[in-house]
Amino acid sequence: MEDFVCPRCRTSKFQNPSLKMMVNVCGHGLCENCVDLLFLKGSGTCPECRIPLRRNNFRIQLFEDATVEKEVDIRKRILRDFNRKEEDFKALKDYNDYLEEVETIIYNLCNNIDVIETNKKIEQYKRENKDIIQKNKGKLGRDEYELEELLELEKQQDEFRRKEIKNEEIFAKKKKIKDKEALLDELMFSNSTAKNILESFAEKAKEEELKPLPQKMTQFSTGIQFGRQNQSIFLPIPNDENPTYSHKMMSYETKGPFPPNDHEVISKGFLSNVRCEVEQERAGGYQSSISCMRALQDALCGLYHTKKQIVYNY
């Protein structure tokens, strides 16, 4: 960053510490003042490659090497459309071939190799895979979700620290003013000598310094720790040694025949007349034996035992 020099006005970071270098899709950098001057009407040409550019497409240059900045911009733009995942392919070889094709496109655009043919290939791909592109744009991968969580946690942590520092500064200023007023009152109205008063206030100040500082918070109210620890986002919330919940099986008073248990439902073939659960239902904890048991319980709960009367004919 310190070696940045504007190719037009030759201003360097050493001459102007507040210099901001801007870059566009062509990858050639310009300082912010030159961009405002050359693109006053909103559009213009690059002073080096004469490519037509627009003012609103300029952004702050992050990397010292302009070619790296150009590659990052092209890669973001290409991967926005070439966003297919491994699960979209039938075989791993097809996915690897697709990644190799994407890297070839990025390389050609970065090094100005067959730019026209490469752009035609990109447009053809966008037409043929329009539905897949829109579908993948609507869903984020697991890594992207984790990155968003980390950024949000870092943002909350910085905001909390700023508020904490600000509150400490306000408290210190108020305490300093209060101590100063108390010292003046003692000097004006106390019968003691000024030396004794100053010594007593100095002792109080020393005692305040020796007091232990309050322990700072290291986690949010949800139990999530501040910062990145072992690359984990959600940390386990500490529990007591005893279980917080103990499950007790429900008892049914059927007043009649008892329904079969789980083992009998499976072994005696009751499940042959019940639809098997799908993968999504099994992931949620549902099993087909649950619905079978419920049906049997409902069928038997209305049955009652009656004493059989035997009639004798004499």
Q: Are strands 52-54 and 21-23 parallel, antiparallel or unpaired?
A: unpaired
- Same domain? For 92 and 36 the reply is no
- Residue closest to 161 by CA, chosen among 212, 227, 213: 227
- Same domain? For 71 and 5 the reply is yes
Q: Could you give the C-alpha distances from 284 to 256, 271, 274, 280, in angstroms and in order?
A: 33, 20, 18, 7
- Same domain? For 43 and 112 the reply is no
13: in domain: yes
Q: Report the CATH number that the domain containing residue 71 is assigned in CATH.
A: 3.30.40.10
- Same domain? For 23 and 74 the reply is yes
Place of tokens 């007043």: 255
Q: What is the pLDDT of residues 244-274, one digit of tens each?
A: 667 777 776 666 677 777 788 888 888 887 8
Q: What is the pLDDT of residue 129?
A: 84
Token representation of residue 54? 């627009």
244: in domain: no
- Same domain? For 188 and 131 the reply is no
pLDDT at 104 > cutoff 60: yes
**Stretch 173-188: mean pLDDT, rounded?**
83
- Same domain? For 133 and 157 the reply is no
The domain boundary, picked from 43, 59, 79, lies at 79
**Stretch 152-177: mean pLDDT, rounded?**
87
- Same domain? For 29 and 66 the reply is yes
227: in domain: no
Q: What is the pLDDT of residues 33-88, one digit of tens each?
A: 888 888 887 788 888 888 888 888 787 777 767 677 778 888 888 888 888 888 88
**Stretch 124-140: mean pLDDT, rounded?**
79
Q: What is the pLDDT of residues 216-252, one digit of tens each?
A: 555 555 555 555 444 444 445 555 566 666 777 777 6
The percent of residues in the chain predicted with pLDDT above 70, rounded, is 77
- Same domain? For 63 and 88 the reply is no
92: in domain: yes
Q: Which of 29-33, 115-119, 303-307 has the lowest mean pLDDT?
A: 303-307
- Residue closest to 33 by CA, chosen among 58, 69, 64: 58
Instruction: Indicate the average pLDDT of the chain.
Output: 77
Domain tally, the chain: 4
> From start to end of the chain, where are the E strands?
21-23, 29-31, 43-45, 52-54, 59-60
Burial class of residue 162 in the structure, from the number of CB atoms within 10 Å of its CB (0-12 exposed, 13-18 middle, 19+ buried): exposed
Q: What is the pLDDT of residue 232?
A: 45
Looking at mean pLDDT, say which of 97-101, 186-190, 219-223 comes out highest: 97-101
Q: Could you give the C-alpha distances from 285 to 198, 281, 297, in angstroms and in order?
A: 73, 7, 20
Q: What is the pLDDT of residue 287?
A: 83
- Same domain? For 87 and 74 the reply is no
194: in domain: yes
- Same domain? For 121 and 72 the reply is no
The domain boundary, picked from 139, 164, 180, lies at 139
Q: What is the pLDDT of residue 228?
A: 46
The domain boundary, picked from 32, 55, 79, lies at 79
32: in domain: yes
Question: How far apart, in whole angstroms, are the C-alpha atoms of residue 82 and residue 74?
Answer: 12
Domain of 290 in residue numbering reads as 262-300
- Same domain? For 16 and 66 the reply is yes
192: in domain: yes
110: in domain: yes
Query: In the chain, what's the furthest Cα-to-Cα distance?
Result: 130
- Residue closest to 23 by CA, chosen among 7, 40, 41, 42: 7
pTM: 0.38
